[in-house]
Amino acid sequence: MRLLPRLTPIALGAAVCLNSLIAADAPSADEQMLRALYTAALTTSPAYENLRTLVTKHPGRLAGSKNLEGAVRWGEALLQASGADRTELQPVTVPHWERGAPESVRLGTHSLAAAALGNSGATPADGLTAPVVELQSLDALATADVKGKIAFFNRPMNPRHISTGLAYSEAGDQRNRGPAAAAKLGAVGVLVRSLTLTLDDHPHTGNTTFPPGTPRIPAVALSTVAADRLSAALRQDPALTVEMQVHSRTLEDALSHNVLGELKGSAFPEKIILVGGHLDSWDIAPGAHDDGAGCVQSIEVLRLLKAVGYTPRHTLRVVLFTNEENGLRGATAYSTAAKAKNEIHVLALETDSGGYQPRSFNLGNAAGNAHQLAARWQPLFAPYGVGHFQKGTGGADVGPLLAHGATVAGLTPDSQRYFDIHHTAEDSLDKVNKRELELGAAAMAALVYLVDQHGL
Q: Is 169 in the site for its own copies (CB under 8 A)?
A: yes
315 or 351: whose CB is closer to its own copies? 351
Q: Where are the beta strands (DSSP E) in 179-324?
A: 189-193, 219-222, 241-245, 249-263, 268-278, 314-321
Q: Work out which of 89, 140, 144, 166 binds its own copies, going by CB under 8 A.
A: 166
Which part of the chain contacts its own copies (CB under 8 A), choosing from 71-79, 135-143, 267-275, 359-367? 359-367
Q: Is 9 in the site for its own copies (CB under 8 A)?
A: yes
Q: How far is the CB of 258 from its own copies (least distance, A)?
A: 16
For residues 124 and 126, give the distance between their C-alpha atoms in angstroms, rounded to a whole number. Answer: 5
Q: Is 357 in the site for its own copies (CB under 8 A)?
A: yes
Which part of the chain contacts its own copies (CB under 8 A), choosing from 57-65, 143-151, 160-168, 226-234? 160-168
User: How many residues of this chain interact with its own copies, rule: CB under 8 A?
Assistant: 78
258 or 362: whose CB is closer to its own copies? 362
103 or 436: whose CB is closer to its own copies? 436
Q: Is 163 in the site for its own copies (CB under 8 A)?
A: yes
Q: Is 422 in the site for its own copies (CB under 8 A)?
A: yes
Other CB atoms within a 10 A radius of the CB of residue 111 amount to 11
Q: How far is the CB of 276 from its own copies (least distance, A)?
A: 14
Q: Is 7 in the site for its own copies (CB under 8 A)?
A: yes
Which residues between 17 and 76 bind its own copies (CB under 8 A)? 17-18, 38-39, 42-43
Q: Is 288 in the site for its own copies (CB under 8 A)?
A: no
Q: How many CA atoms lie within 13 A of 68 on its CB side?
A: 33
Q: Is 391 in the site for its own copies (CB under 8 A)?
A: yes
Q: Is 161 in the site for its own copies (CB under 8 A)?
A: yes
Q: Is 387 in the site for its own copies (CB under 8 A)?
A: yes
Q: How far is the CB of 84 from its own copies (least distance, A)?
A: 26
Burial class (CB in 10 A: 0-12, 13-18, 19+), 202: buried
Which string of b and e fits 282-294 if b means at least 16 CB within 10 Å?
A: bbbbbbbbbbbbb
Contact 305, 290 (CB under 8 A): no
Q: Is 372 in the site for its own copies (CB under 8 A)?
A: no
Q: Sign of the C-alpha dihedral, residues 112, 118, 119, 124? A: positive
Q: Is 197 in the site for its own copies (CB under 8 A)?
A: yes
172 or 215: whose CB is closer to its own copies? 172
Contact 94, 311 (CB under 8 A): no
Q: Is 403 in the site for its own copies (CB under 8 A)?
A: no
Q: Work out which of 69, 134, 243, 325 binds its own copies, going by CB under 8 A.
A: 325
List Cβ neighbours of 276 (8 Å cut-off, separation of 6 or more).
294, 295, 298, 318, 319, 320, 321, 348, 349, 350, 351, 397, 398
Strands 241-245 and 219-222: unpaired
Q: Is 80 in the site for its own copies (CB under 8 A)?
A: no
DSSP alpha helix (H) spans, 139-292 = 164-171, 173-176, 178-184, 224-236
Q: Work out which of 176, 332, 369, 453 binds its own copies, going by CB under 8 A.
A: 176
Contact 68, 62 (CB under 8 A): yes
For residues 348 and 406, give the distance between their C-alpha atoms in angstroms, rounded to a whole number. Answer: 7
